[in-house]
Structure 1
Amino acid sequence: MCRWRQVRNVYLKCSHSQNLPDQLNQCDSPRCKFSPYHPSSCQPPACTKTCIQYRGYPEQYSPNIDGLCPACLDSAKRH
């Protein structure tokens, strides 16, 4: 099932975090209407009865990065 991936980087040295743009992870299922493998010939009303009509819950990922956030790193370079 296709789903969005949400990434929030957490920077340990300054305690700031940064949300990255959401990414769409597409599945390989021909039964998911959002998949690139879903046949264009599959149309309602049959499609609504046989295929997944919604995306899955977003995958959330928050890596802890042992460093400064981009803003603090830029500020440190200027000083």
Structure 2
Amino acid sequence: MCKFRRVRNVYSCGHGITLPEEEIRCDSEKCKFSPNHPATCVPPQCLRTCWQYHQFPELYSPHIDALCPTCAAAQ
């Protein structure tokens, strides 16, 4: 099912930068957010047979061994 990905880069200086949220699309025909969901699948049948919500967001927080852009510019 489709979901959102939330990325927050954490730098060695202790600062973090949250990137814009992005949607990760699935290939399922049974997910109303998927590009493969048929245009002919409409309510009320779609409400009974297809996924109507995004899954829980994927949280990703890489630790980067460098200074954040603000601290790097101040040096």
TM bucket, shorter chain: over 0.9
Give structure 2 stretches of 5+ with no counterpart.
none
What TM-score do the two structures reach when normalised by structure 2?
A: 0.98
Aligned structure 1 segments of 4 or more residues deviating by more than 4 angstroms: none
Coordinate RMSD, CA, aligned: 0.5
State how 1:32-51 maps to structure 2 within 5 Å.
32-51=31-50
Runs (5+) with no aligned partner, structure 1: none
Identity of aligned residues (%): 55
Q: What corresponds to 1:28 in structure 2? A: 27
Number of residue pairs aligned between Structure 1 and Structure 2: 75
Give the match for residue 7 of structure 1. Answer: 7
Question: Could you tell me the TM-score, scaled by structure 1's length?
Answer: 0.93
